[in-house]
Amino acid sequence: MEKVTNCIYWFRKALRLHDNPSLLNAIEKSQYIYPIFILDPWFVQHSKVGPNRWRFLLESLNDLDEQLKRKNSRLILIRGQPKKVFTEKIKEWNINLICFESDTEPYAKKRDEEITSLANELGVRVETKYGHTLYNPEYVYKKNNGKVPLQYQSFLGILAKIGDPPKPLDELSGMFNKIEIDYDLYKVPDLESIGVDSSKCGPRLYPGGETEALRRFEEKFKNDSWVCAFEKPNTSPNSLQPSTTVLSPYLKFGCLSSKKFYWRLKQVYAKKKHSLPPVSLEGQLLFREFFYYVGSYTPNFDKIEGNTVCRQIKWDDKPEYVQAWKEARTGYPFIDAIMTQLRTEGWIHHLARHAVACFLTRGDLYCSWEKGQEVFEEYLLDQDWSLNAANWQWLSASTFFHQYFRVYSPIAFGKKTDDNGDYIRKYLPILKSFPTKYIYEPWTAPLEIQKRHNCIIGKDYPRPIVDHNIISKINISRMKKAYEETKATAAADDGEEEDGKK
């Protein structure tokens, strides 16, 4: 097939050169490629992105620019509304083809439809390929006759019938043909110039970009035994060094290909005895796949209203509780330490997410999971539309998981892996020197001890916002009632999943 002359390759997720099927398609089909990224004002106005994630994104874009330079090209960053950008650039660059990776999120789907119609009107071809997930959700949907299971095991059953996902592509070889363009007009901005106060960023523990993604990925795979023995429930939510891979921010932005991750696991598993889904690393990737699939085919998946798979529980409307939880002022040090780590560093362990999500919703504060989802949306580096919504529904026992009577204790849970409270001491320095006996329940320390350690409860650190022992029992009864009331309407309630397994 003869190549067209000019193509726009539109980076959105998939901020990488490795295993990028849509980019490869653009290279195969055209002589000259304009690799663009659009800083779309919609994301500034409608989605909550905290300073840490902005920094991660800009670092990823700078890294992409560096990768492209090595291939005789550059990233062209354009600020503006996508439709306006395409209207201008299709004409200015005399574009014949537009390529991008398909997306499953609602805003992205609508935006992409608009750009496709615009291109069609202007006689420009649009070609997309999937690449963010292991399997193409559309293909899975067709193979499963349009059914969307709510049970992980059923989903694995579908995948087993389909077989392994495609292997990652070979490294890109060759160079891009040089295009004539003034790159100075299209540089990646810094935080300040997009209105983000860089002093609000926390420590830079997880730099953005494909280079760092691949470095971190290789580092994790140096230890085959760790990879093979990995069992999620046995990792620690409160270790001072992460006990899981922390590859999630890189998967979220597509700095790392999920297929590359999956197939490297297969390679390592072939050599050694290894753990299995749901607890293995492969199992974690398949949870990602599962939630992407359900998210792609469920209306209003990030909301309670209009969400056909979510139990319509009437949560309390207590903004002061949500605010205290968000600002690490619940008076439960384990919860407050996790929320501090989240706000400052942008990543917390999966079971730490379990603990704070259960606390905000069915466990203690009985606030809506939508409120928690919003706070995670702002603070997480790995915030991902499908995964955030799915996990919040899981933890609040609204979808997927139904054992609402299994509640995490904000005291005992953390002690299991950190009896001394080192994690609390790190993230809540006010309690740094508190005796171990009281570190998880500082309000039980005699006043004399509080004074000796310069932390008076109720003054220097809050009293517990609720009494967990009492409120958790009340909330279980409320959940029981909510389940009874929603029994008739709850859609597709097809089974039980065991908590903590994922």
By CB under 6 A, name the binding residues for ligand FAD. Answer: 232, 244-248, 251-252, 281, 284-285, 287-288, 291, 349-350, 353-354, 357, 376, 380, 382-384, 387-388, 391-392, 395, 502
Do residues 198 and 191 touch, judged by C-beta distance below 8 A?
Answer: yes
Q: What is the DSSP letter of 442?
A: G
CB of 220 to ligand FAD, least distance (A): 8
Nearest to ligand FAD of 96, 243 (CB atom): 243
384 in a labelled binding site: yes
CB of 384 to ligand FAD, least distance (A): 4
329 in a labelled binding site: no
287 in a labelled binding site: yes
248 in a labelled binding site: yes
Closest to 49 in 3D by CA, of 291, 288, 271, 375: 375
Torsion, CA 483, CA 487, CA 493, CA 497, rounded to 10: 20
CB of 313 to ligand FAD, least distance (A): 16
CB of 353 to ligand FAD, least distance (A): 3
CB of 197 to ligand FAD, least distance (A): 23
The C-alpha angle with vertex 393 and arms to 390 and 396, in degrees rounded to 5, equals: 150
Exposed e or buried b for every residue in 472-486, given b needs 16+ CB within 10 A? beebbebbeebbeeb
Nearest to ligand FAD of 65, 345 (CB atom): 345
What span, in angstroms and rounded, lies between the C-alpha atoms of 239 and 352? 10
Nearest to ligand FAD of 96, 393 (CB atom): 393
What span, in angstroms and rounded, lies between the C-alpha atoms of 127 and 138? 16
Do residues 325 and 357 touch, judged by C-beta distance below 8 A?
Answer: no
CB of 502 to ligand FAD, least distance (A): 5
In the chain, what is the greatest distance between 2 CA atoms, to the nearest angstrom? 83
What span, in angstroms and rounded, lies between the C-alpha atoms of 113 and 102? 11
Which alpha helices (H) appear in 279-383, and where do they start and end? 281-296, 319-326, 333-345, 350-358, 369-379
Q: What are phi and psi of 11, to 5 degrees?
A: -80, 135
Nearest to ligand FAD of 27, 285 (CB atom): 285
290 in a labelled binding site: yes
Nearest to ligand FAD of 29, 371 (CB atom): 371
246 in a labelled binding site: yes
387 in a labelled binding site: no
285 in a labelled binding site: yes
77 in a labelled binding site: no
Nearest to ligand FAD of 89, 232 (CB atom): 232
3-state secondary structure of 189: coil
288 in a labelled binding site: yes
Place of tokens 């704070």: 356
CB of 449 to ligand FAD, least distance (A): 35
End-to-end CA separation in angstroms for the chain: 46
Nearest to ligand FAD of 156, 246 (CB atom): 246
Nearest to ligand FAD of 74, 311 (CB atom): 311
CB of 268 to ligand FAD, least distance (A): 14
Q: Which residues are annotated as a binding site for FAD?
A: 244-248, 284-291, 382-384
Q: Which residues are annotated as a binding site?
A: 244-248, 284-291, 382-384
